[in-house]
Amino acid sequence: MNRLQTVTIVGLGLIGGSIALALRSNSAAERIVGVDVNTDSLRKALHAGVIDAGTDNLAEVVTDADLIVLATPVQQTIRQMERLRSLPVKPGCIITDVASTKREISEYAKGVLPDSIVFIGGHPMAGSEKSGIDAASPRLFENAVYILTPDSDTDPKAVDLLRSVIEQIRAHVLILSPERHDKVVAAISHIPHLVAALLVDQVAELGQSDPLYSRLAAGGFRDVTRIASGSPVMWRDIVLSNRESILDLLKDWNTRTDELIKLIEQGVGEQVESFFTRTRNWRDALPAKAKGAAAHYYELTIDVEDKPGIIGHVASILGQHGINLRNIGILENREEVNGQLLLSFASRRDLESSAYLLKGHGYKVYIRE
């Protein structure tokens, strides 16, 4: 097992905080140092024991670092590398990032970082609908794919070391070129976000003249489009950084939309049904337990009687067993949804434990895949 002496994590949000917790809980680093301009995040991280030391000045903590993790959005990551080029980073130090685009960042690193430093792009394909250090979890990366994008001339010993560290936080490492990463992730993560945002924009405009749109959108529509709630700044950077792959896919989307419009206009039922059958079969064949590029949500719904105290009873059952209930809500619009009460959890373990407990108390439970 490769145990690093000092890891410096720049950005103590969900991902940076979770990396720190995962390194600590799996004894993968001797000392963890946090860097963040948000002094409140630093204070919380120090108080919770997430990091051993913290500062808002990157220059203070680079000389001893064996690994520097840039856990910031794309443009901030580029700005941090610009700073690192002039700082006394220890020779042989590995610098990695967590941004969800890789080509632009990798090319920039190659152009600005000295040869004594090894840069290896990274993308942990795990996340949460929550953000910030308070949402950080040592189990965020368990069984998640963690992509590394070294260049062909990257020191293989450094790649092996970083791979070993990531495997210690229980993620599955996948090695890709930066170009292939961006092309694939554009299709399975970036385009879905854009589509969700466009759907929200369309219904929001319709809702300006008729409030019924907003009322009924609180059901299935809200679930389908929840990824549109991501950080606008982060998604601005992603779209502009990966514009080539995204534009190619959007143009292909337009072509497919035109073809679907023609099918509907022609009213050919067999072909429309074939379209839905093909897409359903492919989607249903996806592994339900795998963590992919888009945020994964662990949810179940239950049938409950409409009576005072029922929500408290459900929450009490789970609380007594130490289960982290992330969110709870009543479903008014239940089109294609079983049950009246929706429960969200931080992990699949909590989901499965909750399903078992609630079934034992006589509730009819439906796990959402």
Q: How far apart are CA 236 and CA 283, in angstroms?
A: 28
The verdict on 164 and 91 lying in the same domain is yes
Q: Which band of pLDDT confidence, cut at 50, 70 and 90, is reported for residue 127? A: confident
Contacts 24+ apart (CB under 8 A), 330-337: 331/219, 331/301, 332/215, 332/218, 332/219, 333/215, 333/216, 333/217, 333/218, 333/219, 333/220, 333/221, 334/219, 335/219, 335/220, 336/220, 337/219, 337/220, 337/301
The verdict on 40 and 159 lying in the same domain is yes
Average pLDDT over residues 337-353: 80
Indicate if the pLDDT at residue 80 is higher than 50.
yes
Q: What is the pLDDT of residue 270?
A: 92
Residue predicted with more confidence, 81 or 298: 81
The verdict on 172 and 193 lying in the same domain is no
The verdict on 164 and 190 lying in the same domain is no
The verdict on 36 and 138 lying in the same domain is yes
| Domain assignment of residue 316, given as a range | 298-368
Q: How many domains are there within the chain? A: 3
- Tell me the CA distances in angstroms from 32 to 16, 64, 322, one per residue in order: 11, 11, 28
Q: What is the pLDDT of residue 220?
A: 73
Residue predicted with more confidence, 220 or 88: 88
Residue 302, in any domain of the structure: yes
Indicate if the pLDDT at residue 334 is higher than 50.
no
The verdict on 156 and 198 lying in the same domain is no
The residue among 176, 204, 224 that closes a domain is 176
Average pLDDT over residues 324-350: 72
Arithmetic mean of pLDDT over the chain: 89
Indicate if the pLDDT at residue 336 is higher than 50.
no
Instruction: Please choose, from the candidates 56, 59, 63, 75, the residue with its C-alpha nearest in 3D space to the C-alpha of residue 231.
Output: 75
The residue among 205, 236, 262 that closes a domain is 262
- Lowest-pLDDT range of 73-82, 106-115, 201-210, 338-347: 338-347
Indicate if the pLDDT at residue 333 is higher than 50.
no
Residue 106, in any domain of the structure: yes
Q: What is the pLDDT of residue 353?
A: 92
- Lowest-pLDDT range of 1-5, 128-132, 245-249, 290-294: 290-294
Indicate if the pLDDT at residue 6 is higher than 90.
yes
pTM surpassing 0.95? no
Q: What is the pLDDT of residue 331?
A: 65
- CATH number assigned to the domain comprising residue 225: 1.10.3660.10
Average pLDDT over residues 77-91: 94
Q: What is the pLDDT of residue 65?
A: 96
Q: Are 227 and 127 in contact (CB under 8 A)?
A: no
Of 5-19, 279-293, 333-347, which one has max mean pLDDT? 5-19
Residue 283, in any domain of the structure: no
In degrees and rounded to multiples of 5, residue 365 shows phi and psi of -115, 140
Tokens found for residue 356: 């078992």
The verdict on 232 and 341 lying in the same domain is no
- CATH number assigned to the domain comprising residue 356: 3.30.70.260
Q: How far apart are CA 288 and CA 1, in angstroms?
A: 31
Q: How far apart are CA 5 and CA 144, in angstroms?
A: 25
- Lowest-pLDDT range of 130-139, 146-155, 334-343: 334-343
Average pLDDT over residues 141-151: 91
DSSP strands (E only) in 184-310: 298-302
The verdict on 127 and 200 lying in the same domain is no
Residue 286, in any domain of the structure: no
The verdict on 206 and 322 lying in the same domain is no
Q: How far apart are CA 95 and CA 284, in angstroms?
A: 38
Residue 269, in any domain of the structure: no
Q: Which band of pLDDT confidence, cut at 50, 70 and 90, is reported for residue 1? A: low
The verdict on 35 and 104 lying in the same domain is yes
Residue 238, in any domain of the structure: yes
Indicate if the pLDDT at residue 319 is higher than 50.
yes
The residue among 123, 158, 176 that closes a domain is 176
Average pLDDT over residues 145-155: 94
Q: How far apart are the first and last CA of the chain?
A: 35
Q: What are 46-68's pLDDT values in tens digits?
A: 998 999 999 999 999 999 999 99
Q: What is the pLDDT of residue 366?
A: 84
The proportion of the chain whose per-residue pLDDT surpasses 70, expressed as a percent, equals 93
Residue 103, in any domain of the structure: yes
Q: What are 181-229's pLDDT values in tens digits?
A: 999 999 999 999 999 999 999 999 999 999 999 888 876 787 788 788 8
Tokens found for residue 138: 């040592």
The verdict on 28 and 144 lying in the same domain is yes
- CATH number assigned to the domain comprising residue 59: 3.40.50.720
- Give rounded-to-5 percent helix, strand, coil for the chain: 50, 15, 35
The verdict on 72 and 147 lying in the same domain is yes
SS3 at position 327: strand
Residue predicted with more confidence, 221 or 116: 116
The proportion of the chain whose per-residue pLDDT surpasses 90, expressed as a percent, equals 64
Residue 284, in any domain of the structure: no
- Lowest-pLDDT range of 28-32, 133-137, 311-315: 133-137
